[in-house]
Structure 1
């Protein structure tokens, strides 16, 4: 049991990503329902509503003021589901707020379970989606007030997130979002990445215009821009970002080979130098690919893990199924494959040609491909 006192910080036992909190009899029933429906949710409620099965169900009881419980929950969990009046929750979490990029999702449910309200971090924190999921479980009404959701337009801070896209900078998220919801002219520049980003069963609104390149968009008048590209912009092209957000789709594939025992530092240095030479963004790298005899190569694994890239390896037979420009008898002698970096990059990307055929640098060989969409 958690005993909450003014001078002490509550010690919680976190197991899931979400915390469900209740302080009333009816709220406890809702909390128990959600605890059963969401496998990654931890339930907390006041000990005076104990039912006897809490230990078996990993439910945590507390005594004292819930106001003392919220700070550690806010700090630890991805999201909070709170069955308390909206005004009380606002007052209790107000001192805890930092930034929408780090604050957890907060969803509030009324005591009868009729309304589920997305209160905090609706987009980046995922409160809007969580609200819909909870409302479906409780057969309640989801309350979402985010303008882009209500208007069914592009949520600038979440654009492409389901594909793994990341924005380069958060600086212009707010003004560009304002242009979108106010139906001003918005240029969508897409040079790479998945094309199925419009999620609604209706045409793209007339205030949006799609361009295949930054150069073409710069020739047209617009109030804001959403730019999707894997390459670095030139100084001239950066003008489009005066009120724009730059998104990095995951489209770059690195094919690599290296000598045994090559350090992660050397591998990463070659990668960074190569991407800089090609004027490509490291944020758009999706995978590092090699031959299966390198699947335990510590340097390659470290670099992939550090950057959150997929680490893929192929057998010599599969690699040899791809035609390459310069097959090597020496490479075949040691690996059973006539080439490693080139076919590995081509296999994963599905590209017809390489952005960089092959570069040898010290103990590392690298090829680069772009996933076509």
Structure 2
């Protein structure tokens, strides 16, 4: 049992990404029932409502003001589901708020479970999505007030997130979001990445114009821009970012071969040189592909861990089935494959052509491919 004291934050043993918290008799019943359906949450409620099976079910009991529990929950969970009145929640969480990029999603349920309200971090913290999921589970009314959700338009801060797209900078998220929801002229330019980002069963809003090039977008004289590309923008193109967000889709595959024991520093230097040569953002790299002989190569493993890139490897037989230009008898003699970097990059990406054919530097050979999306 957790005993709460002013100024002391209890240690929280987190087993799930979400927490459900209740402080009333009916709220506890709702919390317990919800946890049976929503099994990714730890449950907390006041000890005076204990049923005797809490240890068996893994529920946490606490004594004292729930206000004292919230700081630990805020720092420990991705999302918090509070069965507490909305006004009380607002007052209790106000001192804990830092930034929408780090605050957890907070959802409030009323004591009868009739309404599920997205309160905090609706987009980045996932509270809107959580609200809809919980409401569906308990047959309640989801209440989401985020303008882009209500208007069914592009959520700028979530654009492409499901595909792994990342922003170059978050600086203009708020003003660009304002342009979108205020129905100002907004251009979307997409040079790479997944194309099925519009999820609503209606056409794009009239204020959003999809352009085929940055030149066309600049000629539109937009109020805001969403630019989706793996490449670096030139000076003229960067004027779109005066009130724009640059998204980096995960589309670049690095095919790499290296000598045994090559350091991560040397491999990374070759990667950076190749990307700079191609004018490609490192943030758009999705994976390193190689031969299975290198599946335990520490330098490659270190880099993929560092950047959270995928690490994939293929057998010589798989690589030899891929058509590529620079087949080598010497490589075949040592690996059983006629090449590593080129066929590995092609095989993973599905591309017919490479952005960069085999380029050797020191102990490293690199090829670069882009994942095509129709």
Mark yes or no: TM-score above 0.5.
yes
Aligned pairs for 1:290-329 within 5 A: 290-329=290-329
Give distance in 2, aligned partners of 1:209 and 1:98: 34
Aligned to 1:372: 372
**Are 1:253 and 1:370, in contact at CA under 8 Å, matched by a contact in 2?**
yes
Listed one character per residue, the Cα deviations across residues 322-369 of structure 1 (whole Å, up to 9, x for unaligned) are 122121110000000111000110111111100000111111000000
* Cα drift, residue 213 of structure 1: 1.8
Where do 1:13-24 residues align within 5 Å? 13-24=13-24
Q: 1:193 Cα shift? A: 0.6
Alignment deviations for residues 220-257 of structure 1 (CA, whole Å, 9 cap, x no partner): 22111000000011112100111100000010000000
In the alignment, is the contact (CA less than 8 A) between 1:192 and 1:230 conserved in 2? yes
Structure 2 counterpart of 1:140: 140
Please, which runs of 5 or more residues in structure 2 have no aligned partner? none
Residues 48-106 of structure 1, C-alpha deviations (whole Å, 9 max, x = no match): 00001100000000001111011100111111100000000000000000000000000
1:185 aligns with 2:169: no
How far has the Cα of 1:13 moved from its partner?
Answer: 2.0
1:184 is paired with a residue whose SS is: coil
Which residue number in structure 1 is paired with residue 257 of structure 2? 257
Query: Matched residue of 1:92: which SS?
Result: helix
Q: Counterpart of 1:31?
A: 31
**Residue 68 (structure 2) aligns with:** 68
In 1, Cα distance between the equivalents of 2:327 and 2:162?
A: 38
Q: Structure 2 CA distance, aligned partners of 1:348 and 1:49?
A: 55
Q: Is the 8 A contact 1:118 1:127 kept in 2?
A: yes
Q: CA deviation at 1:218?
A: 1.1
Equivalent residues in 2 for 1:211-226, closer than 5 Å: 211-226=211-226
CA distance in 2, matches of 1:32, 1:152: 34
> Partners in 1 of 2:203 and 2:104 — Cα distance?
33
Q: Secondary structure at the match of 2:57?
A: coil
Supply the distance in 2 between the matched residues of 1:34 and 1:272 (Cα, whole angstroms). 49
In the alignment, is residue 201 of structure 1 matched against residue 210 of structure 2?
A: no
Mind listing any 5+ residue stretches in structure 1 that lack a counterpart?
A: none
Q: TM-score, normalising length from structure 1?
A: 0.99
- Find the residue that maps to 1:30 and give its secondary structure: helix
CA contact 1:358–1:365 (8 Å) conserved in 2: yes
Q: CA RMSD in A?
A: 0.8
Secondary structure at the counterpart of residue 55 of structure 1 = helix
> How far off its partner does 1:264 sit?
1.0
Question: For residue 266 of structure 2, what is the aligned residue in structure 1?
Answer: 266
8 Å CA contact 1:164, 1:249 repeated in 2: yes
Q: Does 1:59 align with 2:59?
A: yes
- State the TM-score, normalized to the length of structure 2: 0.98
- Superposed counterparts of 1:237-256, under 5 Å: 237-256=237-256
> Which stretch shows the higher mean deviation, 207-216 or 181-190?
207-216
Separation in structure 2 between the aligned mates of residue 256 and residue 141 of structure 1, nearest angstrom: 52
Give, in angstroms, the shift of residue 302 of structure 1. 1.1
Structure 2 residue 306 is matched with structure 1 residue 334: no
Secondary structure of the corresponding residue to residue 261 of structure 1: coil
CA shift at 1:314, angstroms?
A: 0.8
- Whether contact under 8 Å (2:12, 2:76) holds in the other structure is no
Paired position in structure 1 for 2:343:
343
SS in 1 for 2:80: strand
